Chains A and B, each alone.
Chain A
Amino acid sequence: MRTALSVVGIGVSVAMVLTLVGVSQGMLQESVRQKRGTGADIMIRPSGAALIGFSADMTAKVVPVVREFPEVALAAGTLVVPIGGVNSVTGVNLDEFGQLSGGFRYIDGGPFRNPDDVIIDDVMAKTENLHVGDTLKNMLNRNWHVCGIVEPGKLARIFLPLPLLQELTGNTNKVTVVYVKLKDPSKTDAVVNEFKQRLGDLKIYSMEEFASLLSIDNIPMLKTFIRVVIGLGIIFGAVTVSLAMYTAVLERTREIGILKALGASPAYILRLLLAETALLGAIGALVGIAFTYATRSLMNEFVPSMTTVIVPELWPIAICAAIAGALIGAIYPGLKAAKQDAIEAIAYD
Chain B
Amino acid sequence: MEPIIEIRDLKKVYKQGDVDVHALRGLDLSVDSGDFVSIVGPSGCGKSTLFNILGGLTPPTSGSVHIKGHDLLAMTDSARTDLRKKMVGFVFQKYNLLPTLTVEDNIEIARHIAGDYGKPKDPSFEQALDMLGLRTRLGRKPKQLSGGEQQRVAIARAIVNHPAILLADEPTGNLDTENSELVLGLLKRLNEETGQTILMITHNPEAAAYGHRMVKMRDGRIVA
Chain-B contact segment, one of A48-56, A85-93, A224-232, A251-259: A251-259
C-alpha gap A93/B154 in the complex (Å): 86
A264 within 8 A of B: yes
Please report whether the interface of chain A is mostly helix, strand, loop or mixed according to DSSP.
helix
Flag if A259 contacts B57 (CB, 8 Å). no
Contact partners of A258 in chain B: CB under 8 A: 96-98
Question: C-beta contact mask, A87-121 vs B, less than 8 Å → 1, else 0?
Answer: 00000000000000000000000000000000000
A173 within 8 A of B: no
Cβ contact of B82, chosen from A257, A261, A263, cutoff 8 A: A263
CA distance A327 to B20 in the complex (A): 41
B85, B97, B98: the one within 8 Å of A263 (CB): B85
Contact B81 A346 (CB under 8 A): no
Question: Which parts of A234-261 form the interface with B (CB within 8 Å)?
Answer: 254-255, 257-261
* Closest-CB distance, B53 to chain A (whole angstroms): 11
Contact A261 B114 (CB under 8 A): no
Q: Is the CB of B96 within 8 A of A343?
A: no
The 10 A-B pairs at the shortest CB distance, nearest first, are namely A263-B85, A263-B84, A258-B96, A265-B81, A264-B113, A263-B113, A342-B57, A262-B110, A262-B113, A261-B90
Supplied contacts A255-B98, A259-B109, 9 more A-B pairs, CB within 8 Å:
A254-B96, A259-B113, A261-B55, A261-B90, A261-B96, A263-B113, A263-B114, A265-B78, A346-B96
> Mind listing 20 A-B residue pairs with CB under 8 Å?
A255-B98, A257-B96, A258-B96, A258-B97, A258-B98, A259-B98, A260-B57, A261-B55, A261-B57, A261-B84, A262-B110, A263-B84, A263-B110, A264-B81, A265-B78, A265-B81, A342-B57, A343-B57, A346-B92, A346-B96
- Interface residues in chain B, defined as those with a beta carbon under 8 Å from any beta carbon in chain A: 52, 55, 57-58, 78, 81-86, 90, 92, 96-99, 109-110, 113-114, 157
